[in-house]
Amino acid sequence: MVQSSRMPVYFICHGAGPWPWVAEMQAWHAQMADALRGIPRQLGRRPRAVLLISAHWEEPVFTVQSAQQPGMLYDYGGFPAHTYQVQYRSPGSPALAQRVERLLEQGGIAVRQDGQRGYDHGMFAPMHIIYPEAQVPVVQLSLRSNLNAAEHLAMGRALAALRDEEVLIIGSGASYHNMRTFGIAGHAPSKRFDDWLAQTMLQTTPAERSQRLADWESAPGARMAHPREEHLLPLMVVVGAAQQDVAQRVYFEERFMESATMSSYCLGAAMDKGIAADIL
């Protein structure tokens, strides 16, 4: 593909808990894993660092992880004992944390640093597939616990300059996240919401896209797909950081875990039909 000097951004579905380390779960996540493995090829070069916004970290004020070597946070329950010994030892980047703090402050957005926060599974499960050798520094950035979509779009806009500094911005969540309706009950509502999301991401102008995402609760099946929106908000951040860029759907699955329709998106990459799952 033709390489752009500016890094693209990704919204990815990170899957269920520590799935890369649970053999019984790997078949359910096979298509998702293939999409994640494709990211380094799509980029065409290794980023200087990754800034990852995980659905599994909320704070009253946007908070950036600043440890030189973050620990591990096993934020799941009921999985095999060995999954609580998993290590993903990518380094952190205090310098990137400071840069994030400065950009957000310049944008009038309150922010603080946290030198104690470890990596949660919204980071280490997908990053284990993307960069299994953990050679790229990763810094996590929290959601704000008020879960306001417009504020997360604005935070993304404030961070856009990082894309010109070889920083890969990844929003890690899910296009559908209702644990009570995985199964037959979840298929129709997840499909309705995913169809709306595809139309929003692929068939609208940048201004329309941002407005529709800010008003996401009016979408068909919205609150069935996201009873609580923390898994959708990482999408707002990456769209804010790439608000003028064309989107591609890079992962699409109608029967994830035998029920839900799920999708992931990239914005700002050179168009390549061999990479995109579809461009509607």
Q: 121-130 and 30-37 helices cross at what angle (nearest 10)?
A: 70
Q: What is the pLDDT of residue 118?
A: 98
Q: Distance (Å, rounded) from C-alpha 216 to C-alpha 98?
A: 32
* 277 falls within a domain: no
Q: Distance (Å, rounded) from C-alpha 52 to C-alpha 113?
A: 15
Place of tokens 């068939």: 203
Instruction: Kindly report the number of other CB atoms within 10 A of residue 274's CB atom.
Output: 8
Tell me the average confidence (pLDDT) per consecutive run of 10 residues in the chain, 280 residues long: 76 95 92 96 96 98 98 96 97 98 98 98 98 98 98 98 98 85 68 95 97 96 92 98 96 73 90 44
* 278 falls within a domain: no
* 3 falls within a domain: no
Q: What is the pLDDT of residue 253?
A: 85
* Bridge partners for 141 per DSSP: 53, 64
Instruction: Kindly report the number of other CB atoms within 10 A of residue 72's CB atom.
Output: 17
| CATH number of residue 87's parent domain | 3.40.830.10
Q: What is the pLDDT of residue 100?
A: 98
Tokens of 269: 């990459």
Task: Please say whether the beta carbons of 99 and 151 come within 8 A.
Answer: no
Domain total of the chain:
1
* 168 falls within a domain: yes
**Residue type present at position 249:** R
Tokens of 143: 């959601």
* 279 falls within a domain: no
Beta strands in 46-124 (DSSP E): 49-59, 62-65, 111-114
Range of the domain at 20: 9-267
* 233 falls within a domain: yes
* 128 falls within a domain: yes
3-state SS assignment for residue 244: coil
Q: Distance (Å, rounded) from C-alpha 135 to C-alpha 146?
A: 34
Helices within 159-203 (DSSP H only)? 184-202
Task: Please say whether the beta carbons of 44 and 1 come within 8 A.
Answer: yes
Q: What is the pLDDT of residue 135?
A: 97
Q: What is the pLDDT of residue 258?
A: 62
Stated as kind and residue range, the H or E segment containing 149 is helix 149-158
Q: Distance (Å, rounded) from C-alpha 136 to C-alpha 134?
A: 6
> In terms of DSSP bridges, do strands 62-65 and 260-267 run parallel, antiparallel, or are they unpaired?
unpaired
Q: What is the pLDDT of residue 280?
A: 33
Task: Please say whether the beta carbons of 101 and 59 come within 8 A.
Answer: no
